Structure 1
Amino acid sequence: MISPEYQQEYYQALLEKKTEYEGLFYVGVKTTGVFCRPTCPARKPKFENCEFYATAQQALLASYRPCQRCRPLSHPNHVSDVVRLLVEAVEKEPEKRWREEDFRQLSVDESTARRQFKKRFGMTFVEYARARRMGLALKHIRAGQTVIDTQLSAGYESSSGFRDAFARIMGAAPTLLTEDRILKASWIDTALGPMIAIASEEALYLLEFVDRRGLEREVERLRIKTRSAIIPGMTEPIRLIEQQLNEYFAGERTTFTVPLALLGSPFQQQVWEQLMKIPAGETRSYAQIAIALDRPSAFRAVAQANGANPLALVVPCHRVINSNGELGGYGGGLTRKAWLLQNEQAQVTQAQRKEQ
Structure 2
Amino acid sequence: MNLQNTLLPPHAEMVRAMLERDTAYEGVFFTAVKTTGIFCRPGCTARSPKPENVEFFAHADECLAAGYRACLRCKPMDAAAIAPHWVQQLLNSVDADPEQRWTDAQLIAEGIEPLKLRRWFKQHLGMTFHAWLRTRRLGMALGGIKQGHSIDSAAYDSGYESLSGFRDAFQKSFHITPGRAANSEPLLFTRLITPLGPMIAMAESRGLVLLEFLDQPSLSREVQALQNRFGYVVAPGHNGHLQQIEEQLSEYFAGNRTEFSVALHMPGSEFSRQVWAELAHIPYGQTTTYGAIASTLGKPGASRAVGLANGHNRLSIVVPCHRVIGADGSLTGYAGGQPRKAFLLRLEKAAVQITEQLAF
TM-score, normalised with respect to structure 2: 0.55
Specify the alignment match of 1:228 in structure 2.
232
Structure 1 residues 306 and 288: CA distance shift in structure 2, 3 A: same
Specify the alignment match of 2:272 in structure 1.
268
Measure the CA separation in 2 of the matches of 1:202 and 1:183: 10
Query: 2:296 aligned to 273, 292, 296, which one?
Result: 292
Structure 1 residues 225 and 179: CA distance shift in structure 2, 3 A: same
Measure the CA separation in 2 of the matches of 1:347 and 1:143: 20
Measure the CA separation in 2 of the matches of 1:170 and 1:241: 26
Corresponding letter in the other structure for 1:296:
P
CA contact (8 A) 1:170 1:219 kept: no
Structure 1 residues 192 and 141: CA distance shift in structure 2, 3 A: closer
What is the deviation of 1:164?
A: 8.0
Specify the alignment match of 2:95 in structure 1.
none
Residues 171-320 of structure 1 mapped to structure 2, 5 A cutoff: 171=174, 174-176=177-179, 177-178=181-182, 180-320=184-324
CA contact (8 A) 2:272 2:309 kept: yes
CA contact (8 A) 1:188 1:195 kept: yes
Specify the alignment match of 2:325 in structure 1.
321
What is the RMSD of the two structures over their aligned residues, measured on CA atoms?
3.5
CA contact (8 A) 2:60 2:197 kept: no
Structure 1 residues 143 and 316: CA distance shift in structure 2, 3 A: closer
Specify the alignment match of 1:348 in structure 2.
352
CA contact (8 A) 2:266 2:273 kept: yes
Residues 1-356 of structure 1 mapped to structure 2, 5 A cutoff: 152-153=115-116, 155=118, 165=131, 168=135, 171=174, 174-176=177-179, 177-178=181-182, 180-356=184-360
What is the deviation of 1:141?
A: 6.7
What is the deviation of 1:173?
A: 6.9
CA contact (8 A) 1:186 1:232 kept: yes
CA contact (8 A) 1:172 1:231 kept: no
User: Gapped runs of 5+ residues in structure 1?
Assistant: 1-30, 34-61, 64-138
Measure the CA separation in 2 of the matches of 1:245 and 1:295: 33
Aligned length: 223
CA contact (8 A) 1:170 1:220 kept: no
What is the deviation of 1:155?
A: 2.9
Structure 1 residues 170 and 187: CA distance shift in structure 2, 3 A: farther
What is the deviation of 1:163?
A: 7.0
Measure the CA separation in 2 of the matches of 1:295 and 1:157: 46
